Structure 1
Amino acid sequence: MIDSNVSPDDAEVAIAAARAGADVVRDMYGRRLARIDKGAGDFATTADVEAEKTILGILRAARPDDAVLGEEGGRRGAAGAVRRWLVDPLCGTLNYAAGSMLVAVNVALRDGAAAVADPFGGEVFFTDGESARVRHDGVDAQLAPTSATRLVEVNLDPPFPGAPGFRAVDLLAHAGFVERFRPRVVSTTLALAWVAAGRRAAYVTDGGDLSGSVHFAAGIALCRAAGCVVTGIDGAPIGRAGRGLVVAADAETHGLLMSMIRSRAPRL
């Protein structure tokens, strides 16, 4: 928790908030939880809601003038606030509800510090906006992206807004992909932290503008600070005009993936 007598920097606020949310997620794991239907097969659980409440408590105490956008509770705080936090209290809800521990808690200050907590691995990946580190058992280590594993996370969750031009699933049928990489699917943005940490070579998902997404903001910030190559599936910078996300440990890996994406999607 944050010492109320000390004014922490934004990275420490993000870490404290993500860690507090992760504690809730971990403590509620395995219980019979109520589900809140969101439609189209999507849902939240009581753990999502309680984790977000806990995160909001940390943010309000440390940064009372900031606004917050939470996945479950929507917008809070002054509409004209200059600073806004983006909160995904439990990324991988379906995994969690099915008894899988592959989940993440994401907290990001728009265009600033961010943290991604692994509730079960005990790690918090974080950035102050300039460098990227991981904290485990009180020890911080610099993140160092590498494509050595050749493992690429491909988000296969529908809907596929890029279809018929391109769907991330299309990569799996590309001969060049099979020759150079091995696909993995964890269905949580914890995978973005793994790219920053060198545990994955890349991450690919289609979709719209993800720069302001509560799901992706923390992971994108982390990967940028770690030195990864971050673009949309069309190779353009992430933003309102962008589509989807391609994050790679290095330029060579990014280039290979982009060539495959373009070959599968002539419209790009």
Structure 2
Amino acid sequence: MQGSANLNVMIKAARKAGRSLVKDFREVENLQVSMKGAGDFVSRADIAAEEIIKNELMEARPNYGWLGEEGGGEEGKDPTRRWIVDPLDGTTNFLHGLPHWAVSIALEHKGEVVAGVVFDAAKDEMFFAEKGNGAWLNDQQRLRVSSRHKMIESIFATGVPFGGRGDLPQTLQDLARLMPTCAGVRRWGSAALDLAYVAAGRYDGFWERRLNAWDMAAGLVILREAGGLVEPIDPEGDILSGGDVIGANEAIFDSFAKIIRD
């Protein structure tokens, strides 16, 4: 699929950062004896990847704004456009040597995410989309959400709060309502990839609370362009600023959303 100049810049930046992270990922296993050492190493890998992405994107589009997980936000000369970047979504997986993490890059225009890239460098899977041009995997494969229309046949993904976060009881209540109605729930530790997997039909739906904009911005446009429905869990809320999201194929969305919103 021939993308726009902006999308090509995003893909190039994601690949460059991904190569750096893959190289660092091979070293993680040697650091497992020291959690502090491994944590510091991964933090440096994360920051280095963001620097690579920022250099690539801002060199190509110096007037755009910036929002990154590590570097925070910067206003651009063009107030209508902003890059939203998570250089390493799935840091805990990376730290533990689990090959399920991604580079996430999105472009926002006038408050709407119009292009997104989620690069799973460990598996060499590049998910990407632009508004109005569909969603794709590795240039040739068009992405479509699953066609399942029965909850009992569907599997869902979410993130389970950790480290004493206050929303754990709410998520456990979600699971108690949802799990009897479906074929399973997965918790793989990367919201960006969860959204991309719904777009690819690997999962049938995804929900999570208290995410950051950079965790999901790219995944939102990829899922929408693959034919999925994406809304805030609170119908009156805003996904990017509120951080609560629910997405699925159209056939099961209403049933799924009713359970989560109950």
Same fold (TM over 0.5): yes
1:114 to 109, 113, 116: 116
Structure-2 change in CA distance of 1:245 and 1:187 (3 Å): same
Residue in structure 2 matched with residue 87 of structure 1 by the alignment: 85
Amino acid at match of 2:126: V
Contact 1:69/1:84, CA 8 A, preserved across alignment: yes
Q: How does 1:234-245 map to 2 (within 5 A)?
A: 234-236=234-236, 238-239=238-239, 244-245=244-245
Residue in structure 2 matched with residue 266 of structure 1 by the alignment: none
Post-superposition Cα deviations, 1:220-242, rounded to whole Å, max 9, x if no partner, equal 12112222111112344634785
Amino acid at match of 1:144: R
Residue in structure 2 matched with residue 70 of structure 1 by the alignment: 68
Contact 1:10/1:128, CA 8 A, preserved across alignment: no
2:176 to 166, 173, 178: 173
Structure-2 change in CA distance of 1:20 and 1:243 (3 Å): closer
In structure 2, distance between residues paired with 1:177 and 1:147:
20
Contact 2:99/2:122, CA 8 A, preserved across alignment: yes
Structure-2 change in CA distance of 1:70 and 1:262 (3 Å): closer
Contact 1:22/1:51, CA 8 A, preserved across alignment: yes
- Bigger fraction of residues in helix: 2
Aligned to 1:125, the other structure's residue is in SS state strand
Contact 1:233/1:243, CA 8 A, preserved across alignment: no
In structure 2, distance between residues paired with 1:24 and 1:125:
19
Structure-2 change in CA distance of 1:230 and 1:70 (3 Å): same
1:54 to 30, 52, 55: 52
Structure-2 change in CA distance of 1:8 and 1:225 (3 Å): closer
* Structure 1 residue 34: Cα displacement: 5.4
1:17 aligns with 2:13: yes
In structure 2, distance between residues paired with 1:106 and 1:243:
16
Residue in structure 2 matched with residue 195 of structure 1 by the alignment: 198
Structure-2 change in CA distance of 1:146 and 1:30 (3 Å): same
* Structure 1 residue 261: Cα displacement: 2.1
Using the TM superposition, name which of 100-109 and 121-130 deviates more.
121-130
Q: TM-score, normalised by structure 2?
A: 0.82
In structure 2, distance between residues paired with 1:82 and 1:104:
26
In structure 2, distance between residues paired with 1:126 and 1:168:
29
Post-superposition Cα deviations, 1:86-130, rounded to whole Å, max 9, x if no partner, equal 110000101100110110110001122110000111111111222
Aligned to 2:136, the other structure's residue is in SS state strand
Structure-2 change in CA distance of 1:241 and 1:91 (3 Å): closer
**Unmatched 5+ stretches in structure 1:** 1-6, 37-42, 264-268
Post-superposition Cα deviations, 1:165-192, rounded to whole Å, max 9, x if no partner, equal xx23322212x53232310001102111
Residue in structure 2 matched with residue 3 of structure 1 by the alignment: none
Contact 2:205/2:246, CA 8 A, preserved across alignment: yes
Aligned to 2:196, the other structure's residue is in SS state helix
Structure-2 change in CA distance of 1:84 and 1:24 (3 Å): same
Contact 1:236/1:242, CA 8 A, preserved across alignment: no
In structure 1, distance between residues paired with 2:172 and 2:240:
23
In structure 2, distance between residues paired with 1:253 and 1:160:
29
In structure 2, distance between residues paired with 1:47 and 1:121:
18
When the two chains are superposed, the root-mean-square deviation of aligned CA atoms in Å is: 2.6
In structure 2, distance between residues paired with 1:142 and 1:179:
30
* Structure 1 residue 29: Cα displacement: 0.4
Structure-2 change in CA distance of 1:232 and 1:77 (3 Å): closer
Q: Report percent identity of matched pairs.
A: 29
Contact 1:147/1:200, CA 8 A, preserved across alignment: no
Aligned to 1:27, the other structure's residue is in SS state helix
Aligned to 2:207, the other structure's residue is in SS state strand
